[in-house]
Amino acid sequence: MRSRTLAALAAALLAGPIPARAGLADFFVDLSVGLPWRTNPGLSRTPTNLMLTPGILLVNWVSAELGVAEGFSQFGERSRLALRPMIGLYPPILPVYGKLVVDIDNLNLAGGLPVVTTVGGALGLLYGVGPVRLFVEGDYLPQTVQGTNQRILELRAGAGVKI
């Protein structure tokens, strides 16, 4: 089983540059700002965050992205670092997209809280003007922190560039 996993990983790594050379892949980097709200328990604003997201878009349809987000120190909360691996679906005719988002939050263990891993999603609008990408999206990131279920809704807007 382990040898099959290693063989699959090696094949994926070797196949990666081929689509890029064939013109089937676009690399991009996005910078965005997120305004999150915690809706359970009670409605409260959580710290604004800034996210840098490099990614690859295959055949203008499917993307693999890795966001690095840093939350500001606001509203009595300390700055938090997060990683957000994402898989996106971008229909070629429409300006809408959807993403599966895995949020690995509080990597710096701010406030003595543990690392929190969440699976959520995002829906957004994307407009491309040449190599420039402009987007706005809504994210849903449910979390369980110290036994309390929380729903995080985030409005995110940003810009990027195809490389």
Q: What CATH number should be reported for the domain holding residue 54? A: 2.40.160.20
pLDDT at position 13 is: 47
For residues 3 and 27, the model is more confident at: 27
Considering the domain boundaries, does residue 19 fall inside one?
Answer: no
How is the chain classified by DSSP, letter by letter?
-HHHHHHHHHHHHHHTHHHHHTT-EEEEEEEEEEEEEE-SSS-EE---EEEEEEEEEETTTEEEEEEEEEE-SBTTB--EEEEEEEEEE--SSSSEEEEEEEEEE-TT-GGGPPPEEEEEEEEEEEEEETTEEEEEEEEEEEEEETTEEEEEEEEEEEEEEE-
Domain hosting residue 76, numbered range? 24-162
Q: Average model confidence (pLDDT) for the chain? A: 86
pLDDT tens, 110-150?
878 888 899 999 999 999 998 999 999 999 999 887 777 88
Report the domain count for the chain.
1
Considering the domain boundaries, does residue 102 fall inside one?
Answer: yes
pLDDT at position 106 is: 86
Considering the domain boundaries, does residue 7 fall inside one?
Answer: no
Considering the domain boundaries, does residue 148 fall inside one?
Answer: yes
Considering the domain boundaries, does residue 107 fall inside one?
Answer: yes
- pTM of the full structure: 0.80
Considering the domain boundaries, does residue 95 fall inside one?
Answer: yes
Considering the domain boundaries, does residue 31 fall inside one?
Answer: yes
Please give the average per-residue pLDDT across 28-48, as a whole number.
Answer: 91
Considering the domain boundaries, does residue 134 fall inside one?
Answer: yes
